[in-house]
Amino acid sequence: MPTPDVSISGIGVFVPETVSIEHAVAQGWYPAEDVELHQLAGAAVAGDLPAPEMALRAARAALDRGGLRAADLDLLLYATSWHQGPDGWQPQYYLQRHLEAGELLAVEVRQGCNGMLSALDLAAGYLRRDGAGPRSALVVAADNFGTPLMDRWRMGPGYVCGDAASAVVLTTGRDDGFARLLSARSVAVPEAEEMHRAGEPLFPPGPTVGLPLDFSARNAAYRREALAGPDGTVALARIHMRTMQLVEDCLKEAGVGLADITRVAYMNYSREIVEQRCMAALGLPMSRSTWDFGRALGHLGPSDQVVSLEHLMSTGELAPGAHFLMLGVGPGVTLSCAVLRIDAPAPWRG
């Protein structure tokens, strides 16, 4: 969806202290043989700080930087990929209450690693639905993976999981944003639905019987079973094809080409994954990726791309006129892309 009238007025992040990959190896948490192979440097670890509390800190920073009051918001979307608190409880209302955001619509977006990008797409559409006057939305993402059913150091092939929260304030009808959301799109590749559940029954759900989340084991099961026939190979090929088509469509809607893209934020995965699945596929050098920054934080669930954006804005690496492309993949399989244009330096830099 083209969204040139949607501005980014505020952005906030909360990233806890990191644990180095060397320490993880010394403790026996991370395989020593994977250090050189994947070139990861560490993971952000929040300890026992709840994800909703991290989300609250990021949200307050985004609102403060955007010069908005929570009471003036029209929408709150909270993206998650892991458990947030007591079962049966909704984390978005924790923010709604503690931000004093009033009675606005608040919704949890359960889109896994693609949650933030999907939420940006949804929020932009919501803000533009009637075109009447200034409107604003707060999009938040947060996860703390340090739980008994998660091994952050061995959960998936080619990445480790880090804890973080990120928040973005989107506005329409205002001229004080530092960036424009030029385009946001998401598509699904349902043929690959089995990829993130292979080897496990649908019922009873794993967490209800104490089954740990292990994407490495599921990936191995998928390759043994699904890829033994032609359908699995077709599904993987389709993911790549749809990813390239998605980027092309998103760039076209934004009115820019790949040559105009200053930096690209993909998932905080290993160097070979980021290079092969994203940068080389796009025909761009790794120097234009955010991999070198993200490798020290781990895969932050839905927050990878926004945390990288905040870093680049805070360091001045994205100057006015720059274009920033965010690309993600989530279970489903879902693919999401967004293109931003930087209009002003980060106001919080002073």
Q: Tens of pLDDT along 37-47? A: 999 999 999 99
Domains and CATH numbers, the chain: 7-175 (3.40.47.10), 182-343 (3.40.47.10)
State residue 2's pLDDT score: 61
Instruction: Tell me: pLDDT of 29 over 70.
Output: yes
How many whole angstroms separate alpha carbon 337 and alpha carbon 118?
A: 9
State residue 232's pLDDT score: 60
pLDDT over 70 percentage in the chain: 95
Instruction: Tell me: pLDDT of 133 over 80.
Output: no
DSSP 3-state of 34: helix
Peptide bond into 16 cis (omega under 30): no
In order, the DSSP letters of 272-316 are HHIIIIIIHHHT--GGGBSHHHHTTT-B-GGGHHHHHHHHHHHTT
Where residue 224 falls among pLDDT bands split at 50, 70, 90? confident
Give the angle 306-308-313 at the CA atoms, nearest 5°: 95
Instruction: Tell me: pLDDT of 183 over 70.
Output: yes
Rounded mean pLDDT, 260-289: 96
**Do the beta carbons of residue 32 and residue 75 sit within 8 Å?**
no
Give the angle 326-264-18 at the CA atoms, nearest 5°: 85
Nearest to 4 by CA among 299, 332, 343, 263: 343
Rounded mean pLDDT, 133-149: 94
Q: What is the model's pTM?
A: 0.95
Where residue 230 falls among pLDDT bands split at 50, 70, 90? low
**Do the beta carbons of residue 27 and residue 209 sit within 8 Å?**
no
State residue 196's pLDDT score: 87
DSSP 3-state of 22: helix
State residue 165's pLDDT score: 98
Condensed to tens digits (0 to 9), the pLDDT of residues 85-120 reads: 999 999 999 999 999 999 999 999 999 999 999 999
What mean pLDDT is reported for the chain? Answer: 93
Q: Which long-range contacts (CB under 8 A, 24 or more apart) does 32-40 make?
A: 37/270, 37/272, 38/158, 38/159, 38/270, 38/271, 38/272, 39/270, 39/271, 39/295, 40/159, 40/160, 40/270, 40/295, 40/298
State residue 227's pLDDT score: 65
How many whole angstroms separate alpha carbon 228 and alpha carbon 215?
A: 19
**Do the beta carbons of residue 309 and residue 276 sit within 8 Å?**
no
The residues facing 109 across adjacent strands are: 79
* Maximal C-alpha separation, the chain: 58
The alpha-helical segments, DSSP class H, found in 255-277 are: 271-273
State residue 234's pLDDT score: 73
Rounded mean pLDDT, 14-18: 98
State residue 173's pLDDT score: 81
Nearest to 84 by CA among 115, 63, 61: 115
Assigned token pair, 267: 């998932």
DSSP 3-state of 168: strand
